Chain A
Amino acid sequence: MSALIPVAFLQLRKQPRRLLIAVAGIAMSSLGILCQMGFEDSLFRSATRLYQEFDAELVVLSPQYQFMVLPAQFTQRRLYQALAVPGVESFSTLRLGIAPFKNPTTRINRNVYVVGVSGSADAFTNPEWEAQRRSLKAPDEVLFDARSRPEFGDLVALFRAGAVQTEIADRRVSIRGLFEMGASFSADGTAITTDEGFARLFPQRNSQLVDLGLIHLRANADVRQILAKLQATLPRDVVVMTHDQLNEREQTYWRGTTPAGFIFKTILGICLVVGCVSVYQILSSDVAENLAQYATLKALGYRDRYFLALTFEKAWLLTSIAYPVGFVLSAIVYVGATHLTLVPLVMTSARVIGVYAIILTAACIAGAIAVNPLRRSDLSELF
């Protein structure tokens, strides 16, 4: 029966104010980490959201290409050259640019990300996008992302009410259809048009130059083999990579080249420290206040590992009480932030479990440090 005495729980409950402070600290730490990870994931996912929809096994780009908003052009002759490699079936070209979009209601300009797509092969894996793209006939027709920021106007309602006409880069355009993607940290809104439409909006651009080439392979083609062949065949003024490598490169840019990755890591570290300090404070105070009591138990034959286990149990209890609070708060933040920024924040079960494990581990480490003075206590001082 004695083994059933919930010592850790009873001791935590005995100091409700201190318990509340520790729970608040860990909850805030959990909230911070969950939000940080959500924002980071959202940033990196939104950065490749458009790219993930590309229907291509391989992509061709300029070595000067940095990321989707700062691309670099190369001659589309390289794509024709690629067709000579066995296994390559077709290609599509993408031209990327940013131009002012006039809100049809307020007439206020806001920059929109413009994607010019050419080629008879499928450019997008999403069948709805692809069908919409193929419906673009005239150069003044565009598709618009229905989940772009509201500053572009209530285009969904306007579109339902009838044809929407506005201006991109001071050129009259007609919105032919809507697709759903969502804003990202680098683009508030996205419009898709044909290569003729793109040339009309960016007349200064050389029509022979493209930003990305999407390479479509024959069925059952060996992607690695063709990739190697293309890399060996095409001149060094282009690079060839797999679709996944492009997505990874885009994310690496955000993680490594921009300050975003560093900022997110710093926030993560700060949140973890806050959690650790909260746990350490309550557990070290507990050890300090009960040093004589614990030393008495040691004199009665208790081993150090009992106190370590007791401290771990407290760390587990604190984390288990505080984490759900942090989780609920972060879920609210996720919903609010998604609503405000239109950049979807997704709470994955892997993240929920992973952050709990991180917080619990940090709490146990803090607990192990807190219990140190007891390990060094001099039992002979008890008498």
Chain B
Amino acid sequence: MMPTILARDIGFSYETSSVLRSLSLAVAPGEVAVVTGASGVGKTTLLTLCGALRSLQHGELRVLGRDLKGLGIAQQCEIRSLIGFIFQSHNLIDALTARQNVMMSVLGHAQLELSGRQAADQLVTLGLAAKVDAFPEDLSGGEKQRVAVARALIRKPRLILADEPTASLDDLSAGLVKEAIATAARTTSCAALVVTHDPRLFEIADRVLRLENGNLSEA
């Protein structure tokens, strides 16, 4: 079976420094790979490359069976629509309720036929039963982050790319997020690449990788 992420000898440099050097990685469907490492070593760069949010400079990177090198905007959009992104900042739209923010994730995905009820169910799973129709201004930071997680998971992605998804959460909330990611991986064969410093996430990891000197090693 083709890995969800297959990186071979990928390299990436910023103007002044090289962050990824001949990095190779394979993440199988249903696998949760957690990447840790010191700040500034290139963890986020790796995520943005895998999410087709940044152009590859060197090497070969295949995500969901597609070679990301030289993709046009339309193809990038197509790949991104299969990925569940969990960003460090929640970026919820203020004018929409938690439910509507989650539903925005599937706008245009007619095959999913998502209903408001399903969005609410996803929020309930993440412990937000009482906040389904609350606006972001009425949510705490942790609650907003959980809405953002629900937004990523509701579309039943084939790949989850998460950057510090539990950074601002208490143990209870972190546990719910952890469980949601693990469940998605188990039940839908969704692969997950999670970048974090939070050891609580190691519990759901099939592999914990350390990014150091531009390359990955088993932690």
Contact = CB atoms under 8 A, between A and B. Distances in A.
Interface of A: 1-3, 5, 7, 10-11, 13-14, 290, 292-293, 295-297, 299-303, 306, 379-380, 382-383
Given A290-B94, A300-B155, 9 more contacts: A1-B114, A2-B103, A2-B107, A5-B96, A14-B94, A293-B94, A295-B91, A383-B44, A383-B47
A306 B53 CA distance: 18
A306 B77 CA distance: 12
18 contacts: A1-B116, A2-B107, A5-B96, A7-B95, A293-B94, A296-B91, A299-B85, A300-B105, A301-B78, A301-B108, A306-B107, A380-B53, A382-B87, A382-B89, A383-B44, A383-B51, A383-B53, A383-B87
B84 to A, nearest CB: 8
A305 B97 CA distance: 24
Given A1-B116, A7-B93, A383-B88, A299 B51 contact: yes
A5 B91 contact: no
A88 B95 CA distance: 75
B128 interface: no
B53 A382 contact: yes
Contacts of B45: 380
B53 A5 contact: no
B78 A5 contact: no
B173 interface: no
A293 B92 contact: yes
B126 to A, nearest CB: 18
Contacts of A296: 85, 87, 91
Interface string B100-112: 1001111110000
Contacts of B74: 303
Nearest to B96: A10
A296 B161 CA distance: 13
B22 interface: no
A14 B104 CA distance: 17
Contacts of A10: 95-96, 100
Nearest to B118: A1
B210 to A, nearest CB: 19
Contacts of B85: 296, 299-300, 382
A306 B109 CA distance: 14
A172 B102 CA distance: 87
A300 B84 CA distance: 7
A241 to B, nearest CB: 60
B91 A292 contact: yes
B96 to A, nearest CB: 6
